[in-house]
Amino acid sequence: MQCQECGKRPATLHFTKIVGGEKTELHICESCAREKGELIPGAQSGFSIHNLLSGFMNFDPTGAGTELKQPAVRCDTCGMTYSQFSKIGRFGCSECYKHFSNRLDPLLKRVHGNTVHSGKVPKRAGGKVKVKREIDELKKHMQNRIEQEDFETAAKLRDRIKELEKEANGG
């Protein structure tokens, strides 16, 4: 069998792709495959997570048709539009998250089952967030102590919360 790309060398690599019952075969030689970057394992799949995501992103939570009436949503910082994002499945820059914010919840919900981060917070960039998290934790703890009628500990926790709140607002 000859290579489908160059038609000169014998085909030594054979790919079969089945998408929705439709079968496509690709028979190519070594050097054409190298050119296409298909030799590197993992890189040869035409169907990536991004294709799958763009399926999710076309999901319109407000009902059919509203998409057309809205002006194009665009990230002011990098210029990417929401429709470009939904095709590529990747953001252009970190500001896209702000500009596309109200459309992201249904997407993130589908991918992660969640919309809000609850993991690690960086020391510098997230200084205030860290304090806020700590305050939330302490408030939960204080509530718990009050329910247990341990008012002495609850009072201590309240003082600590006040201190932290001052720090958060001042800093």
List residues near another protein by CB under 8 A. Answer: 12, 30, 34, 37, 39-45, 47-50, 53, 77-78, 80, 88-94, 97-98, 104, 107-108, 111-126, 129
Q: Minimum distance from CB of 55 to another protein (Å)?
A: 13
Q: Minimum distance from CB of 164 to another protein (Å)?
A: 16
Q: Which is nearer to another protein, 139 or 156 (CB)?
A: 139
Q: Which is nearer to another protein, 42 or 65 (CB)?
A: 42
Tokens at residue 71, please? 């002006």
Beta bridge partners of 16: 25
Nearest to residue 153, comparing CAs of 144, 161, 145?
A: 145
C-alpha distances out from residue 2 to 18, 24, 27, Å: 22, 17, 8
Tokens at residue 9, please? 């060398």
Tokens at residue 113, please? 């089952």
User: Does an H or E element contain 14, and which?
Assistant: strand 13-19
Q: Minimum distance from CB of 148 to another protein (Å)?
A: 26
Q: Which is nearer to another protein, 60 or 148 (CB)?
A: 60
